[in-house]
Amino acid sequence: MSDDLLQRGKNIKLAVFDVDGVLTDGRLYFLEDGSEFKTFSTLDGQGIKMLMAAGVQTAIISGRKTPVVERRAKNLGIPHLYQGREDKLVVLDELLGQLNLSYEQVAYLGDDLPDLPVIRRVGLGMAVANAASFVREHAHGVTLARGGEGAAREFCELILRAQGRLDAANAAYL
């Protein structure tokens, strides 16, 4: 983990996640009746809970809209959920106004071109290991894990480590 990423993570007050390809493996699963399902990593969910317990706010911004994501966000206690919003930078602007935060206080984890404007604008913009190559090239950092396979946990732990809170977050479970 580079010193630059740790420096960028020090002042993060809000962590924002894309869904498809970040909190999931990026595949879309449709049943015969037209309903869909997604798989989520419990490691990622625990990382998000650890961030929130440390006082970092969390949000999801997704271009797609599905009840499954609403249920997952509610289950994790993520207070800021925006679905069906293609222009993620516009959504982030709205959220920053509500929370009275600056771009430098935001970390974002994404995987594809709709995420790129946010990744390039925030204080810590990261891509998952299996993100589109152009997105990986323009991110501040890239996770070792793939989307849906612990990348969000890695991202959360990076922020906690940068803020000197990772040991305390882990110790809470001893």
- 18: which residues sit within 8 A by CB, 6+ positions away? 60, 61, 62, 88, 108, 109, 110, 111, 112, 114, 115
Interatomic CA distance for residues 141 and 119, integer angstroms: 10
Mind listing the pLDDT tens digit for each residue in 115-155? 999 999 999 999 999 999 999 999 999 999 999 999 999 99
Band of pLDDT at residue 173, cut at 50, 70 and 90: confident
Quote the pTM value: 0.95
